[in-house]
Chains A and B, each alone.
Chain A
Amino acid sequence: MKPVLLWLSLCLLSMPVFAQITIKGVITDQNKAPIPGVNIIELGTQNGVSTDANGVYSIQVKDQNAMLSFSFIGFYDESVQVGSKTTLNIMLRPNSELLDEVVITALGLERDPKNLGYVIQKLETKQVSEVKSPNFVDNLAGQVAGVTVSQGATGVGSSSKITIRGEASFTNNNPLFVVDGVPINNNSIINYTTDAASGFQEIDFGNGAMEVNPDDIASVSVLKGPAAAALYGTRASNGVILIETKSGATKQGVGVSINSSTFVDRAFKLPEFQNKYGQGNSGEFEYVDGLGGGVNDVISYSYGPQLDAGILVPQYDSPVTMPDGSMVRGGDIYVHGGLPITPTEFVSHPDNLKNFYQTGYTTMNNAAVTSGFDKGDFRLSFTDMRSESIIPGVNLDRQTVSSRLNFRPTSKLKISTSLSYINSASDNRPANGYGSENVNYALVAWGPRSLNINNMKDYWQPGLEGLEQYSFNYTYFDNPYFTLLENRNSFQRDRFFGNVLARYQFTENLSAQARTGMDYSTELRKFSRAYSSNRFQNGAYAEHQVSYRENNTDLLLNYKKLFGDFLIDISAGANRMDQSANNAQTQALSLAQPGVYSLSNSAIPLETIQYTGRKRINSVYGLINLGYKDFLFVDVTGRNDWSSALATPTSAANASFFYPSVSSSFILSNVLDLPSYFSFAKLRASVAQVGNDTDPYQTTGAFVSSAPYASQPTFTDQNFIANANLLPEKTSSIEFGADVRFFKDRLNIDVTYYDAHTQNQIISLPVPISSGYTQQVVNGGLVRSRGVEIMLGVVPVIKGEFQWSSFFNFSRNISTVEEIPAGLDNLTLAYNRVYDNVNQTVWVQVEEGGRIGDLYGTGYKKTDDGKFILDANGNYIVDNDLRKLGNYNPDFMLGWSNNFSWKNWNASMLIDWRQGGVIVSRTQALAGVAGQLIETADRPEAGIVAEGVVNAGTDENPVYETNTKAIPAESYYRQYYDRNHEENNTLDASYVKLRSVSIGYTFRGKAESTGFFGQGRSMQVSLIGRNLFALSHIKHFDPEQLAVQGNQFVSGVEDMSYATSRSMGVKLNLNF
């Protein structure tokens, strides 16, 4: 940095000299807003002016050597030598120490961040709304130290998982989302399914927090640790995402702003395929009926004849001549009834999948009206989001209306409301996971390389529209166009969240507030399946009603007073939370009439799966904040919760739990005489505890309804052993940190170290079914979660109107398991499997000394030094002992954001580096076995000699010799990638991603002009891009992945995911 400054000053000194000149310009802040009243002084003289209401100034100086100094309260002074210029537009940088900055802390209390004994990271509007994703949670990726975001696998509308400071709980690591002081849900409710290869597959309908509208956000504060979050109670043990929406307060009169973003989306990363061999086995293939009638046409491996070798093969799209001379396709088997198929050339289709994905479009338009009036202000905003996915037939629409009103009828009373209504809908959400309802099953895993996907667009057999689909194979696979365009999973969701607050200032010191808020959503999902679907020969239809309601009502008293050097600020409050969830899925698994999707069209008795859950938490809490002389601050909090989930039908004795916190901040720079390059220095420390309860009905056993026989009911005992003596989970943490700023804040470093223990975890402990049950609800286990977060802000270059600022977020979290419940060697937290096959399962297990996120699976026999041991014939030897495959959590994460501004230009760039961690790939396993991937292109006649050794000795005294036996290439690939063994399909998940880029230009209304594009009005045009580029070891898919199993999200597994999208577009922003 120093050489830059030196160079800069040399440049300035070497300027030629002229006589008396007039300098003009505009002074703005970082956001390009003009600053009125800035003092401008020609140094060494009495000559001085100040800027007008538009930040404009004009000053006469004696010559080019004159130095102008610009100063304004709350900003760092700037001094500039005039030089040859006559216009000097200056951007002043805020001085955080002097600026009256506030952050919102727990309970909506506004605090000076300098006084806090814990770390809160705050994102401004621009950081979450410049390059927007349809899922709000994605906008936080890479921007906050310690926050991990993983996007879902089914394109626009899928859930994104977010964790703060890693995973410390065995069961629940979801942070709490709070909008304008009141919690909202971030639930992902997946439809009812079974693991088996039948029925409906899992559909991800998105997570609750995806619906927060970025255009309405004023700021996002992330409360990372228990100390910051403790006052939010039981759900806060995983941190809190605190969202403040925009209000009209900052504008006088009526203001209108219009934001419009349009993205063009393309598939980001597709599997790399081999294009040498087509469908078949052992070099042979013949399509007859796609059911096994031809040689090897029962299953679509690509070990068939060579492609592009002039070979003629009967194929699904080859012609069949009907007796009347008309032509149909080979796959129209019910039309031609087995007539001979005329062979056609067996050719490669290298871009068949690429052409399947279409160009997607996403538009987000927002219009907001703001107004201030004498007794308050309001803001009303409407947002329309429409997205056509890159996956054909998949879309997402969302309209949001939000309003915020602040009303001050008297000087003592404030009433405010924050209301949002959201309507979202999709015509189709694609299925997750391995199976025929996910088109990747037919296109990637089992899509033969000879397949011309384009010829499947006409997906009915002629004359049998609505009855018989047309496809390349009828054993397991549905035509992907048929799947996406006929077999839809649609939803309609209405959601409302908001709150009303009244605050009364009794005296200068005492105030009270009451608030009540609600988050209510109701959703209808429809699942339609046409006749001839592989899983539903006679079609099917299901409706899934999902509703959720949470009410929070709270009271808060606050007393604040200064006693000499001491500041005392006391708050006490109480909250009641009521939650109720209702889900009912009713399904008709066979339809009377094809194409009619209605429950009354069922051919068989309807089946309903229903769940109703209720929970109440009552809480009282208090906070004492003590300040001494502007340098020492201490916060003490305490909260007691009573949770109904810990009660039994006969007793509420275990329902109560209390947890305290103490945090302290010591501002060194206000006490010590630090060298001048220190602009601020603070140390902080905290100790805190948070309790955590559980889901309803874990304390008593019950019987569940099962399949009826002859319309007569059956009931079975539930598979988990309830626990009437359940106690709350407890997380205790200590946190130390320092916030040090140098060189007038041009270099900021904030370092945090934390160490948290989560104990008494409420675990659904797997037990052997020989005990009669599969799970047991217990308290137990201890997880220690430690980590470091470093935030580094630097402004490497400021040169006149050019500024480059750069911000680094580094975090490393390690969650180690110190104890698991007595008598256990390990504990299974989650799993992901192919269908219900226990041998094709990735286990998320922990053992003492292990880490959360450890993945286990099976593999082939290896020597101690990691060489494969092959049998005498050169085959791999199955080893079914579970071994650790790796851990899905990264070793560290680094987000690097950059912002460049020059005159009216602004550019930003966000790079996200996630290092370490593994991912198990189903795409590699399945498409590898099936011979589709590029790795399987090499198929020598002589076979392949597997790398490894052969034991020439005995089991007790092995003598290992290098393997020399070749096995046929097809056997080799089928064994190597076999889905029963995950080890060979485990990949390094590290990546560096160019997450977002924007380049924009701002047109500003002319000063003193009053027209349409007058003073104070502006228009900004930007080119924007998301998910642009990634460096990774993974060939076949985006390394950011999340799988679904049952109703649980599983990290570390890529489960036949769809391509993510690379989005590029334009953003237009108008303010007038």
Chain B
Amino acid sequence: MKKLLYIYAVGALLFASCTKDFEAINTNPNAPIEVQPSLLLRQVIYDYGEQMSYEGFTAGNPLGQYMTMVDFNLFDRHSLTQPQYGGNPWPVVYKNLRDNELLLNTSRENPAQAVYEGPALIMKAYMAQALTDMYGDVPYFEALQGKSGNVSPVYDSQEDIYLAENGILDNLNRGIEAIENYTGAASLDGDILFNGALAGWLRFANSLKIKALMRISAKQDVSTELQAIVDAGVYIKTNAENATYDFTDNQPNNFRMASLRQGDFNIYVMSATMDQIMDRYVDPRVSVLFRKSANDTYNGLLNGQDASQSSITVSDYSFAGTSFRESTGDLDANFITAWETQFWLAEAALKGYISDNAQTFYESGVELAFEYWMTDLPESYLTLDSAAYGAFGQDPMEQIITQKWIANTINGYEGWIEYNRTGFPKFKTLAASLNNGLIPSRLPYPTDEQALNATNFGAAAANTNGNNVNAKMWWQP
């Protein structure tokens, strides 16, 4: 019986505390529960820039008629629910808005991290604008609250996202204010745009304000605010001040098209739209943006081919330039630049929103854009040829937007968004459109939303003629 007692004793010991050490055992050793804000800031900037540059090449470029696809091109034929590459920026933006929101919360909760508040607000405004400009009404004010229990955010109107409290413009103002009021000693780490220089963020914020105000200028009197920014002069003026970061030639920070299969790259060729514009301006940037076809010419193909009914020798057309594959160290992830700001201001001046000279902004924009794309500006470009401001038969508005369009290659969906606002440059009718020959005005909400946020999606779909890609943006004139 002694042995029996012994066994009981051992058993009792073993199970005396049935949950001993459980807290420690179920603490995740792989991943931290909290991280330094610098890790989040670097993550948001890098990941958003990387993913949206890929989106820009694979989906933004065909949609903006920079390039076209020779196959797997239902998206290029404007069946936007059937993309083969890219074409689903929704999760990219929300994921980064989420990490950015955590950064913003930390900066507000912990006074020692207050330096991050301004940049986080500016990034929030930047990404929110990108999102609403692609989709229209989107979940915004109730979004990103999954951890506090709201997993089905309502959709907010584009107007409110731009104009309401905590909207795009408000957050840009708050971000500027937060930076101007910042007196702490802690430096901004993880900033791969401006290397921690808060002055860079102020210029970034004001350039974004110019862009946001101009985008909604058909609906809103924006002249006072624009003039104030121009007068203060704190916005991105040189390429050195650009809100961009560099890709590298090699992984892990190269442009994604560099490491994809050859076919993924060769499926994209120059569009006929781009071909025509390059010809019109006799634009030497064509040799940076594209490479010559097998016939030693730059040659574009009309967007939206029915691949099943065409015999295409792809090498008759121009593939994208080497900076998109072999030497991506030449390429930047672009948030906003000096030339884009200049073109915005050129339009503002042209429309009389500001009192300054449109041509000056335009020419400065063109010069900066050539520099950005590593091309020498031909002497006659701004004086004799079609790009000369207000040249005979040229519409300055078309010139401004077209020059901006050229330089905005792979900058997300910007070229297409601006076409929807201005109608420039003139897009071509697709060879075999799956959208009745119309250029879509918005991306459709993803099916995930239909499946997982059904009620709110339903309301949003009702406002867009059943999630129709031809429904108009609020800011469209």
Known contacts A574-B15, A656-B18, A700-B28: A707-B252 contact under CB 8 Å: yes
CB contacts under 8 Å to A, within B3-59, are: 3-4, 7, 10-11, 14-15, 18-19, 21-35, 39-40, 42-43, 46-47, 50
Stretch at the interface among B121-129, B139-147, B350-358: B139-147
Whether the Cβ atoms of A717 and B22 lie closer than 8 Å is: no
- Cα distance A816–B462 in the bound complex, in angstroms: 33
Q: Counting CB contacts under 8 A, is B315 at the interface? A: yes
Whether the Cβ atoms of A475 and B19 lie closer than 8 Å is: no
Q: Which residues of B contact A436 (CB under 8 A)?
A: 261
Q: Counting CB contacts under 8 A, is B153 at the interface? A: yes
- Cα distance A297–B71 in the bound complex, in angstroms: 12
Whether the Cβ atoms of B74 and A980 lie closer than 8 Å is: yes
Whether the Cβ atoms of B26 and A709 lie closer than 8 Å is: no
Q: Which residues of B contact A974 (CB under 8 A)?
A: 307-308
Chain A: interface size category:
35 or more
Question: Smallest Cβ distance from B242 to chain A, in angstroms?
Answer: 17
Whether the Cβ atoms of B31 and A704 lie closer than 8 Å is: yes
Question: Smallest Cβ distance from B241 to chain A, in angstroms?
Answer: 20
Whether the Cβ atoms of B313 and A615 lie closer than 8 Å is: no
Taken residue by residue from 957 to 991, chain A's Cβ proximity to chain B (1 for < 8 Å, 0 otherwise) reads as: 00000000000101100100000100000000000
Stretch at the interface among A390-398, A646-654, A894-902, A1002-1010: A646-654
Q: Counting CB contacts under 8 A, is A476 at the interface? A: yes
Of the residues B3, B90, B91, B253, contact of A506 by C-beta under 8 Å = B3
Stretch at the interface among B208-216, B374-382, B441-449: B441-449
Of the residues A476, A553, A647, A713, contact of B261 by C-beta under 8 Å = A476
Q: Counting CB contacts under 8 A, is B260 at the interface? A: yes
Stretch at the interface among A236-244, A601-609, A743-751: A601-609
Q: Counting CB contacts under 8 A, is A542 at the interface? A: no
Residue of B nearest to A775 (CB): B146
Whether the Cβ atoms of A773 and B47 lie closer than 8 Å is: no
Question: Smallest Cβ distance from B320 to chain A, in angstroms?
Answer: 13
Whether the Cβ atoms of A715 and B32 lie closer than 8 Å is: yes
Q: Counting CB contacts under 8 A, is A275 at the interface? A: no
Of the residues A537, A706, A717, A980, contact of B98 by C-beta under 8 Å = A717
- Cα distance A717–B84 in the bound complex, in angstroms: 28
Stretch at the interface among A286-294, A313-321, A1022-1030: A286-294
Q: Which residues of A contact B181 (CB under 8 A)?
A: none
Q: Counting CB contacts under 8 A, is B259 at the interface? A: yes
Q: Counting CB contacts under 8 A, is B266 at the interface? A: yes
Q: Which residues of B contact A24 (CB under 8 A)?
A: none
Whether the Cβ atoms of B146 and A776 lie closer than 8 Å is: yes
Whether the Cβ atoms of A878 and B82 lie closer than 8 Å is: yes
CB contacts under 8 Å to A, within B100-115, are: 101-102
Question: Smallest Cβ distance from B240 to chain A, in angstroms?
Answer: 18
Q: Which residues of A contact B145 (CB under 8 A)?
A: 771-772
Q: Counting CB contacts under 8 A, is A560 at the interface? A: no
Known contacts A296-B313, A534-B262: A710-B253 contact under CB 8 Å: yes
Q: Counting CB contacts under 8 A, is B309 at the interface? A: yes
Whether the Cβ atoms of A197 and B264 lie closer than 8 Å is: yes
Q: Counting CB contacts under 8 A, is A1048 at the interface? A: no
Q: Which residues of B contact A281 (CB under 8 A)?
A: 307-308, 310-312
- Cα distance A511–B68 in the bound complex, in angstroms: 80
Whether the Cβ atoms of A970 and B308 lie closer than 8 Å is: yes
Whether the Cβ atoms of B448 and A838 lie closer than 8 Å is: yes
Q: Counting CB contacts under 8 A, is B314 at the interface? A: yes
Q: Counting CB contacts under 8 A, is A907 at the interface? A: no
- Cα distance A507–B257 in the bound complex, in angstroms: 77
Known contacts A291-B315, A980-B82: A712-B190 contact under CB 8 Å: yes
Q: Counting CB contacts under 8 A, is A474 at the interface? A: yes
Whether the Cβ atoms of A710 and B314 lie closer than 8 Å is: no
CB contacts under 8 Å to B, within A239-253, are: none
Q: Counting CB contacts under 8 A, is A697 at the interface? A: yes
- Cα distance A640–B15 in the bound complex, in angstroms: 11
Counting residue pairs across A and B whose Cβ atoms lie within 8 Å, the total is 315
Question: Smallest Cβ distance from A677 to chain B, in angstroms?
Answer: 50
Q: Counting CB contacts under 8 A, is B205 at the interface? A: no
Q: Which residues of B contact A607 (CB under 8 A)?
A: 252
Whether the Cβ atoms of A512 and B19 lie closer than 8 Å is: no
Q: Counting CB contacts under 8 A, is B200 at the interface? A: no
Whether the Cβ atoms of B26 and A696 lie closer than 8 Å is: yes
Taken residue by residue from 857 to 900, chain A's Cβ proximity to chain B (1 for < 8 Å, 0 otherwise) reads as: 00000000000000000000010101000000000000000000
- Cα distance A553–B190 in the bound complex, in angstroms: 49
Of the residues B25, B71, B245, contact of A647 by C-beta under 8 Å = B25
- Cα distance A611–B29 in the bound complex, in angstroms: 8
CB contacts under 8 Å to B, within A318-350, are: none
Q: Which residues of B contact A651 (CB under 8 A)?
A: 23
Taken residue by residue from 442 to 465, chain B's Cβ proximity to chain A (1 for < 8 Å, 0 otherwise) reads as: 000011110111100000000000
Whether the Cβ atoms of A769 and B252 lie closer than 8 Å is: no
Q: Which residues of B contact A828 (CB under 8 A)?
A: 451
Known contacts A298-B266, A768-B151: A709-B253 contact under CB 8 Å: yes
- Cα distance A837–B39 in the bound complex, in angstroms: 29
Q: Which residues of A contact B79 (CB under 8 A)?
A: 878
Q: Counting CB contacts under 8 A, is B186 at the interface? A: no
Q: Which residues of A contact B451 (CB under 8 A)?
A: 766, 825-826, 828, 882
Q: Counting CB contacts under 8 A, is A1012 at the interface? A: no
Chain B: interface size category:
35 or more
- Cα distance A713–B1 in the bound complex, in angstroms: 63
Known contacts A642-B18, A655-B22, A702-B31: A772-B94 contact under CB 8 Å: yes
Question: Smallest Cβ distance from A776 to chain B, in angstroms?
Answer: 6
Whether the Cβ atoms of B315 and A773 lie closer than 8 Å is: no
Q: Counting CB contacts under 8 A, is A620 at the interface? A: yes
- Max chain B C-beta neighbours (<10 A), residue from A280, A289, A297, A475: A475
Q: Counting CB contacts under 8 A, is A284 at the interface? A: yes
CB contacts under 8 Å to A, within B301-327, are: 306-315
Residue of B nearest to A828 (CB): B451
Whether the Cβ atoms of B448 and A768 lie closer than 8 Å is: yes
Question: Smallest Cβ distance from A643 to chain B, in angstroms?
Answer: 8
- Cα distance A705–B312 in the bound complex, in angstroms: 44
Known contacts A768-B151, A770-B143, A839-B447: A703-B34 contact under CB 8 Å: yes
Of the residues A288, A294, A772, contact of B143 by C-beta under 8 Å = A772
Q: Counting CB contacts under 8 A, is B367 at the interface? A: no
Whether the Cβ atoms of A769 and B3 lie closer than 8 Å is: no
Q: Which residues of B contact A707 (CB under 8 A)?
A: 46-47, 50, 252-253
Of the residues B19, B33, B71, B263, contact of A655 by C-beta under 8 Å = B19
Q: Counting CB contacts under 8 A, is A576 at the interface? A: yes
Q: Which residues of B contact A292 (CB under 8 A)?
A: 70, 266, 313-315
- Max chain A C-beta neighbours (<10 A), residue from B28, B94, B152: B28
- Cα distance A504–B34 in the bound complex, in angstroms: 53
Q: Counting CB contacts under 8 A, is A1068 at the interface? A: no
Known contacts A721-B147, A770-B453, A772-B143: A603-B250 contact under CB 8 Å: yes
- Max chain A C-beta neighbours (<10 A), residue from B24, B25, B83, B251: B25
Of the residues B33, B42, B83, contact of A709 by C-beta under 8 Å = B42
29 pairs from A and B in contact (CB 8 Å cutoff): A198-B256, A282-B311, A284-B311, A292-B313, A292-B314, A296-B312, A299-B71, A476-B262, A476-B263, A504-B3, A555-B11, A589-B259, A610-B30, A615-B26, A616-B25, A640-B18, A650-B23, A707-B46, A707-B253, A713-B39, A714-B190, A717-B102, A768-B152, A770-B453, A771-B152, A838-B447, A838-B448, A839-B83, A880-B447
Knowing that A280-B311, A644-B25, A700-B33 are A-B contacts, what are 14 other residue pairs whose CB atoms are under 8 Å apart, sorted by A's residue number? A292-B314, A295-B312, A299-B263, A574-B11, A574-B15, A647-B25, A651-B23, A701-B147, A715-B43, A768-B153, A769-B90, A770-B449, A776-B146, A968-B308
Query: Residues on A close to B: CB < 8 A?
Result: 197-198, 280-282, 284, 286, 288-289, 291-299, 303, 436, 474-477, 504, 506, 510, 512, 514, 534-537, 553, 555, 557, 574, 576, 589-590, 603-605, 607, 610-612, 614-616, 618, 620, 640, 642, 644-652, 655-656, 696-697, 699-710, 712-719, 721, 766-774, 776, 823, 825-826, 828, 837-839, 878, 880, 882, 968, 970-971, 974, 980
